[in-house]
Amino acid sequence: MRYLILSDIHANWEALSAVLNHVRRKKFEKILFLGDAVGYGASPNAVMDWLRSIGSSGTSIRGNHDRVCSGIDSGEYFNRYALQAARWTADHLEDRNRKALQELPEGPVAIEDQVAICHGAPHDEDAYVFSGNDALLAFQDMPQQVIFFGHTHVPSVFILDQRESIPDIEVRLLAGERQRLSMEEGRRYLINPGSVGQPRDRDPRAAYGIYDSQTRRFYHYRVAYSTSEARRRIVRAGLPPMLGDRLLHGV
């Protein structure tokens, strides 16, 4: 099976449409969405209309922003800008899209024998996997060889070498326009495809991945889109301008 893997779209329709355009000629059979469809950006309804349209040809889980924007979490732990954006999103979401957001399942979800997805970490959808130690905990909680996660908005791979007697984690950042990674026997992989709509690795291009579970290869791509248009729409909507400015720099 070939999967298109998307995470952290954050109501950025300009970035999502650029990604969908980019994958048009690539082969994939299912979409895996790792959470945070909305929050921060100015197009929550356009993104949710698309997410609802994929139906059974995909598996989606919720992110922390999806919980807060749909009203099932107060978000009191959010920073000022995130909370302001969540309140704006809650006010602008159409009912059918709010309902769809509320119904998104909590991760982790096993997709097939050797593939699973989660938003933050398997044991806690709100936990961030930034370090080797975070990754080690995550590997202990799910048995699959390959686990896709989001939440940090940083395209990265954590590799656990099971052939060593002392667990050893290798951390790699996925930088550049395209990357290929082959899964090896005796190793396990925690892979973050990066964020479609709000990258934070100083590369403003939208990020996404494709995974082929037959060949056990992961492909990572970056796609340029009009960050200035996404920013303009954020400012025009009355959202904090800082949320638009950060898109220009990928921070």
* Interface residue list for Fe ion (CB under 5 A): 8, 36
CB of 28 vs Fe ion, minimal distance in Å? 22
- Smallest separation (angstroms) from Fe ion to the CB of 63: 5
Q: How far is the CB of 38 from Fe ion (least distance, A)?
A: 10
Nearer to Fe ion, 82 or 157 (CB): 82
Residue 44 vs 188, nearer CB to Fe ion: 44
Vertex 108 angle, CA 192 and 56, to 5°: 90
> What distance in Å separates the CA atoms of residue 238 and residue 93, rounded to the nearest whole number?
15
Distances (CA, A) of 40 to 30, 36, 237: 26, 10, 11
Q: Which is nearer to Fe ion, 8 or 203 (CB)?
A: 8
CB 30 within 8 A of CB 6: no
Q: How far is the CB of 48 from Fe ion (least distance, A)?
A: 15
Burial class for 25, CB neighbours closer than 10 Å (0-12, 13-18, 19+): exposed
Closest to Fe ion by CB, 69 vs 183, is: 69
Q: Which two tokens stand for residue 127?
A: 């936990």
Shortest approach of Fe ion to residue 25 CB, angstroms? 28
| Residue 8 or 125 having the CB closest to Fe ion | 8
Q: How far apart are CB 166 and Fe ion at their closest, in Å?
A: 33
- Asked whether 84 and 41 are in contact (CB, 8 A), the reply is no
Concatenated DSSP letters of 177-194: SEEEEE--TTEEEEEE--
Q: Between 195 and 213, whose beta carbon lies closer to Fe ion?
A: 195
User: What three-state secondary structure class fits 112?
Assistant: strand
How many whole angstroms separate alpha carbon 158 and alpha carbon 138? 10
The residue whose Cβ lies closest to Fe ion is 36
Q: Which structure tokens are listed for 247?
A: 């898109």
Distance CA 60, CA 62 (A): 7
Contact between residue 64 and residue 107 where contact means Cβ atoms under 8 Å apart: no
Two structure tokens written together for 219: 């492909």
- Smallest distance from Fe ion to CB 199, Å: 11
